[in-house]
Every structure is written in C-alpha cells, then in structure tokens.
Structure 1
Amino acid sequence: MSTIRWGYAINQWKPQFDDFVRREQHERALKTISIAGFEGVELNAGTGRWEPLGNPQQLAANFGDVAGFRQFLASCAIDAVSSWAWDPAERSMEHLTGPLSPLVEGDLATIVERAGEYAAALAELGGSVLLVRPAPGAGDVDPLDDAAIDRLAACWNAVGRATADHGIRTALHVDFLSALRREDALEQLLDRTDPELVGLALDTGELAAAGIDPVTAIRQHAGRLWHVQLKDALAVDDAEEYLQPHAHWTVRVRGGEREVPRWFAEPGAEGGLVDTPEVVRTLMDIGYSGWVVVESDQSPHPAASVLLAGYLVQRELRPVLERNS
C-alpha cells in the first residue's frame, strides 16, 4: 500500500550566502511550512557560520546538539527532517577540506565518512534519506566512460553501506546540469550500484528542465525510487547549455543565453511544465511509499510559495491520493 508523507524544502529561503541565518528567520519559515500542512522539512547541506542548518556541526553550535534542533523543530510543529541534500563538491570549513569528487578514488574515504555524519544526524532527526549529487556537472568533466562510471558506483555503494548502518537510505539526486544526463550514463550507474544500498531521488522540475517527462521516469525507475522532490519547471534546456563549463553559474543562476529569469517554481505555477496531479497518480500506481518533498527553488516570495504549494497539496493532491487509495 502506498503511503506518502509530505515535506517541504527549506532551500528557497536562502538566495544569498549571508541570508537566512537568524533563529527568528528559521522559526518563521518552519512555522509557515507547518501551517501550510507539511509535516517534514528537507535541509540543504552547507558550511560555515552562515549555514546554521547546513551540517551536524553547525546544528550543535547553534542548538546545543542535534537533539536540541529536534526540539526546536517540534516547537515549530514540524515532526521531522525528512532528508538532507548534500553535494560532496561543496568545501567544508568544519573539516578544513576542499571540494570532494566521487570520481576521485582518493576522496572516497572522506566522502563516506562525511555521509556517515549526515546519516547519524538524520536518524536522530527522524529522517530517512540522504540525497547526494552523484556526479559533477556535464560541462565540468569529460564524458563518463566505463571506468568513470565504475568509480561512481564504487563511491555510492560505499556511501550506501555507511548510511544504512544508521538506518538511512542513500538516493542519487540528478539535476538538469548533471554529467549523468548524457546518453545512458544514469542507467549504467544504476545497473552498477546495489539496489539494496543505492536508490534514486527523482526531481520533477530538474527532469522537466532537461526535457525528460517525470511521469515516464517514475514508471521507468519504479523499483529504485526512494525519494521525490516535487517542483515545477518554467523552461527547458533544449539548447543543451548544460554542456557548458561552470553551467551552475552561467545557466542555472544567470539563465544562459536566453537569460531565463527563473528555471523553477512551486508546483502548479502559471506556465509550469509539470503535470503535478499526474505525477501523484503515477506514484500511487507504482505503490510508492516515502516522502514527497515540495520545492520552489529560490522563490522570490518563499512564504507565498509554500502557502500556495500547501493549498495545492490540501485541495488537489491529497484528494488524488484518497480517490486512488
């Protein structure tokens, strides 16, 4: 039987590194998420004093310990941290390490250790999934050959074992700039990873921006689907600008040659390309159980976005689930 829990991603509240750092800002955001009808929150990994919610060490520095942050969540009527999204390529001030790559064998032990730290905290926070960026952007590495995909598989299998020790699943989150978007690289990686240790975090907006139908992808990967991020896409990278170097800045942030003002929005936004009710019906069809985390991704009006998303969930998506249960 399909059981879906609804969460919301908090990343949209932090458009700049020095925004969203005060306790009262976190409290307002979490209470808004709660009153909109979401029971969990997804955190985004980060480092340094500008990221109080970015990693277990910062949680301890700002809330006493991880348990103290769990109490803070409860005071805002949030039941759990559903998941944590982590890109090992982000440097860590707490550990004094630079970017790590799953393609570099020498980085594997550190990546596994860091994933274990996140998983231990997630377990204490009532979560279930560590989302990882499984490969660099396509424009920043050579096309992935067999040896490269083998290195990726070895890394994420090892991470999967480490997080499983804490009861936490590891799920690959593929964004529209990923090197895994090329040819059948993602399929090859899934084939070479242990299905008991490594699953897929499907992001509807990222897929739509890459020109991939999320509904088709859900059906295709039903057996490996461990997490869903639900957001809308407002544009498609049909010119394959994802192949440009540093596309995170030139394409995702600055909008590419078309100067796309915003790639993503909350589900149901005007001009959105994702059929959100059909996504939910398809999740029911495949018997998906787990978190569906709604996301807006750098909304200019984060509180309005979460309330609009909550309205959509309460008025349209929950009835879809009830009709199909």
Structure 2
Amino acid sequence: MTGIRWAYAINQWKPQFDDFVRREQHERALKTISIAGFEGVELTAGTGRWEPLGNPQQLAANFGSVAGLRDLLQDCAVDAVSSWFWDPQERSMEHLTGPLSPLVEADVPVIVARAEWFAEALAELGGSVLLVRPVPGAGDTDPLDDAGLSRLAQCWEAVGAATARHGIRTALHVDFLSALRRGDALDRLLQLTDPDLVGLVVDTGELTVAGLDPVAVIEKHPGRVVHVQFKDALAVDDAEEYLAPHAHWTVRVRGGQREVPRWFAEPGADGGLVDFPAVTRALVDTGYSGWVVVESDQSPHPAASVLLAGYLVQRELRPMVERERAPDA
C-alpha cells in the first residue's frame, strides 16, 4: 500500500456494552462512514455476545463468517477493515482467560497466539495493522526498569513475527495512561525492538493529552510510524493524574480531579488542541505511507462527528496531501 488512505474508527458508536449490537446499526454506521469519504473502518477488540464486531469468533457468529463482514462492508461502499485495536489485558470469554500481561513470561505464548488469531482475520478483511496496548497503565504497574522493558520487547517482537506471517504489521498504541509515558521508556522500548517487527501508532489525541507533541513524535521516529489515528484533545493531563491507580475509571472515564467532561473529540472540534494540518504536513514530509484513522472516542453524536471529520479531511487534509505529494510542474 502506498500513499495515505483514510479510515474511521467505529468505537464511538458503542458508549455502553449493550449498545450497537444489531446488524442494521452496523450498516447505518458503515454507510455514514462511507458517505463522509472514508475508505476503511477500524475495529476495536471485544468479547462476548454484546461485541459482534469484537473478534473473529463473534464476526463468524453474527455475519456467517469473517468474509460475511467483508461482504457487508462492500455493500456499504467501505473497502476494508483498515486495522484492529486489541488490548491483551482485557479478559476473553471466547477463550475463558483473564487479563494477559506482556510483562509475565507465561502469558506471552498466549498473547502471540491470540494476536495471530486477530491477524488472520484482519488479513481476510483487507487490513494491514494490528494495534496493541503494549503495557498496563502507569498507575497499575511498577515503573519499567531494564528487565521490564526487555520482557516487553521480547513479547512484542514475538507478536510482530506472528502477525507478519499474515502480512499484518504489529504497532504499539501508547495512550495517555500508559506506563510508557514515564521518562524515556517509549524511546528505550523502540530501541530494543526490531523495526521490521514492531511499529508505532501515533494517536494525536492521546499524545496531546499526555503533554506530547505528535509532530515531534513523528519527526523523531519517522521510520517506526506505521499507523496514525487522528482525534482531537480537549484537555491536557498536566497534573500527571495518569499515575493514579485505576486511572482508566477515575481519570479517563470520570475526568479526574478537574472532572474533565470529555478528553477527546473529532478533529477540528471547538477548543481542540491538535494542529491537524501540521501533523498531516509532518506525515507527508517524512514519507509516511499507510492508514490515517480518524476517530472521536465516544462521541455523543457519532454520525455528526463522522460528517464533520469527513468535511475536514475532504476539504483540507486530503487536498494538502495530494498537493504536497504532486510532482513539480
């Protein structure tokens, strides 16, 4: 795949576990994504009967087969599932397993097998990248020392080798609660891993909330960026509340001590902190080739968020890419 292709993350349609479970709801969302100008859709892993788009087993149960979902995508004028986000630290009802940790040696073979399960289905759906949450939140694990980083590197290199057998890249998704946010942990992990096996996701919203400049990250690691997510940030965790235990619930969901009503929004939202033209220019300048997945992360108005993001992409960002990559006249 060459150039930049645009996709949309479908996760914002599911604010509660029992929402967005019917085929007609999926069809409406996919058609909205298509008409907004996006070629692909990104899925989020999940488990159980309330997650019909959550994993290969549920796809087969709800669409007849993995290929059955691809048929629906084509009927809705969506070319592919661009990518799948998977957090191995979430339990799996399909496999009757609890959280798996890349820091626990005994869990690594299971993580590798599970990643290959996703990669095989993703390849059938026309995708190219398996996004993984590489480590628990900073408040739920000890600071990463050399031994811990080495264990992480071994785990994700093994996963990268397994997904590569299906033509799928493995990419580390660093959220604003991640233990890799501490110090230079991310840089050190990237140094310990093979670039051909382990890539990096640039999530503009998560990095900005973490106090990191996504443009600087792209320019620092141009050869490692294999996937990009565009979402806006509405606040910055400058009080380092990510270090609190169980910060997913107390900070990300409930807003932390400031009671932030919403950390993220669609690109270009009022009050947004991310400079998307600058990020797009950095991707072009560094020769990025791959998917850019736009998302809103639990939007209260999913269809409106898709259309607003699509307007920004069609009117400003896509023309910028085409103009800056066009040969000189």
**Do they fold alike, i.e. is TM over 0.5?**
yes
Mapping for residues 156-171 of structure 1, pairs under 5 Å: 156-171=156-171
Query: Residue 118 of structure 1: CA displacement?
Result: 0.2
Q: Deviations over 1:247-300 (max 9, x none)?
A: 000000000000000000001111000000111011000010000000100000
Q: Deviations over 1:38-90 (max 9, x none)?
A: 00000000000000000000000011111111101111111000000000011
Q: Deviations over 1:150-204 (max 9, x none)?
A: 1100000000000000000000000000000000000111011111100001100
Q: Is the 8 A contact 1:232 1:273 kept in 2?
A: yes
The residue aligned with 2:263 is 263
Instruction: Return 5+ residue gaps in structure 2 as ranges.
Output: none
Q: Deviations over 1:126-173 (max 9, x none)?
A: 000000000100000000011100110000000000000000000000
Q: Is the 8 A contact 1:230 1:267 kept in 2?
A: yes
Paired residue secondary structure (1:223): coil
Q: Which amino acid aligns with 2:103?
A: L
Paired residue secondary structure (1:293): strand
Q: Following superposition, which runs of at least 4 residues in structure 1 exceed 4 angstroms of deviation?
A: none
Q: Which amino acid aligns with 1:46?
A: G
Q: Is the 8 A contact 1:2 1:284 kept in 2?
A: no
Mapping for residues 29-108 of structure 1, pairs under 5 Å: 29-108=29-108
Paired residue secondary structure (1:245): coil
Q: Is the 8 A contact 1:2 1:287 kept in 2?
A: no
Q: Deviations over 1:80-122 (max 9, x none)?
A: 0000000001100000000000000010000000000000000
Mapping for residues 1-325 of structure 1, pairs under 5 Å: 3-325=3-325
Instruction: Return 5+ residue gaps in structure 1 as ranges.
Output: none
Give, in whole Å, the separation in 1 of the partners of 2:9 and 2:273.
Answer: 20
Q: Is the 8 A contact 1:171 1:201 kept in 2?
A: yes
Q: TM-score, normalised by structure 2?
A: 0.98
Give, in whole Å, the separation in 2 of the partners of 1:191 and 1:204.
Answer: 22
The CA RMSD over aligned residues, in Å, is: 0.8
Give, in whole Å, the separation in 2 of the partners of 1:302 and 1:81.
Answer: 18
Give, in whole Å, the separation in 2 of the partners of 1:194 and 1:290.
Answer: 19
Give, in whole Å, the separation in 2 of the partners of 1:322 and 1:128.
Answer: 22
Q: Which amino acid aligns with 1:48?
A: G
Paired residue secondary structure (2:21): coil
Paired residue secondary structure (1:91): coil
Q: Is the 8 A contact 1:123 1:167 kept in 2?
A: yes
Q: Which amino acid aligns with 1:264?
A: F
Query: Residue 2 of structure 1: CA displacement?
Result: 6.4
Q: Is the 8 A contact 1:86 1:133 kept in 2?
A: yes
Give, in whole Å, the separation in 2 of the partners of 1:322 and 1:23.
Answer: 36
Q: TM-score, normalised by structure 1?
A: 0.99
Q: Which amino acid aligns with 2:32?
A: T
Give, in whole Å, the separation in 2 of the partners of 1:196 and 1:309.
Answer: 32
Give, in whole Å, the separation in 2 of the partners of 1:238 and 1:2.
Answer: 37
Paired residue secondary structure (2:223): helix
Q: How many residues align?
A: 325
Query: Residue 322 of structure 1: CA displacement?
Result: 2.1
Give, in whole Å, the separation in 1 of the partners of 2:195 and 2:279.
Answer: 23
Give, in whole Å, the separation in 2 of the partners of 1:153 and 1:279.
Answer: 28
Identity of aligned residues (%): 81
